[in-house]
A = this chain, B = another copy of it.
Amino acid sequence: MSGIADVAALAGVSKATASRALTGSGHVSQATRSRVLDAAASLGYVPSTSAVSLATGRTRNVGVVMPYVNRWFFAEVLEGIQQPLLERGLDLTLYDAKPGTEGRARIFDDFLARKRFDGLIAVGLEPEDRELQRLMQIGRPIVSVVGADEGSSVVSIDDDYAARRATEHLIALGHTDIVFLGGGVGEHWAQVDRRRLTGYEAAMAEAGLASTTRHVRSEVSIPGGYDAAVDLLGDSRTRPSALVAVCDEVAIGAIIASRRLGVPVPGALSVVGIDDHEYAEMFSLTTLQQLPRQQGAAAVELLLAHLDEPHRPPTSVQMQARLIVRSSTSALAQA
């Protein structure tokens, strides 16, 4: 492995000049610059990242912490983050911090403290107090995707609005018996899910339907939505005419269950989700579209801005979910 000293020697210049030519900082004459570049190329010179980091204090690496990578939203955000980073030559270190695991504890206690990154993107982390403290201690810029504003920059959609809009869509179609499906299982009552439930409740209340408000809990996944829907839809006496799902996965699970039970969608049951999941089209799912890739990309831009400008005040980027009407929703059939 040839180092910058070799390059310098071959080009007949000092290490300092070679460094300038290579990094583009400082003044170097055209002639020497190209001699250095040629030398570097012919030697296959690649700077040692650890040496660069040690000398500059910058890692050219971004840390990404998320609780799941096997859920659609998270995987999409991750790809949305990766791409702009690749374009800029920045590395991505992934920390998979599943709630309640020992690994998560280690991430907060050991890994993050190492600061192997210039900045951090936290996706749907929903940190506990202790974890939040750790994050603040790091002393590196942090951008969150999904999640409340806790003194750092945030990229998110307006969950309240999305759920409200979904509910209003159903109400406008004449539905009154509308169930909110999903979330609320286990100890980790996710805040996103809570916010969406709140939006649903608000829309119901505004339409004078507060008394009909119902929340049916489920795991936030396709099988979770499926299982909950089998129970809910199995008994025709408690079956609502419409469902607002906490996200598309739950909505899709519900549609699959509905079909299995012979309850036609949207004939006997309207379903609306939030996401615009990869499978939404295939299930003709009406949904509030959010674009997780764009959120990931936006988080990168924000983070880079913070890196350029250390004292930049935290910004909050709210993206608006857009209603996409497909055919999982229809007007309430008159009795």
Contacts and interface: CB of A to CB of B under 8 A. Distances in A.
Nearest to A221: B278
A93 B96 contact: no
10 contacts: A49-B114, A50-B53, A61-B116, A82-B103, A87-B103, A87-B106, A89-B110, A93-B93, A223-B282, A256-B256
Contacts of A89: 106, 110-111
Contacts of A83: 96, 103
Interface string A63-105: 0000001101001101100110011010111111000000100
A51 B49 contact: no
* Closest 4 pairs between A and B when the two form their complex, measured CB to CB: A50-B53, A70-B75, A86-B103, A50-B54
A69 B59 contact: no
Interface in A271-291: 278-279, 281-282
A79 B70 contact: yes
B113 A91 contact: no
Contacts of A260: 259
B82 A96 contact: yes
A180 interface: no
A102 B134 CA distance: 37
Nearest to A51: B54
A107 interface: yes
A49 B86 contact: no
Given A69-B69, A69-B75, 10 more contacts: A49-B50, A69-B79, A78-B94, A87-B106, A91-B93, A91-B111, A91-B114, A92-B94, A93-B94, A223-B282
A150 to B, nearest CB: 22
Nearest to A114: B49
For this chain, the copies found in one complex come to 2
Contacts of A86: 96, 103, 106-107, 111
B75 A223 contact: no
Nearest to A86: B103
A70 B89 CA distance: 22
A91 B116 contact: yes
Nearest to A230: B282
B46 A114 contact: yes
Nearest to A92: B94
A222 interface: yes
B70 A226 contact: no
A102 B92 CA distance: 17
A48 interface: yes
A53 B114 CA distance: 13
A92 B91 contact: no
Nearest to A226: B282
A40 to B, nearest CB: 12
Contacts of A59: 50
Nearest to A255: B256
Interface in A121-157: none
B79 A49 contact: no
A70 B79 CA distance: 8
Contacts of A53: 49-50
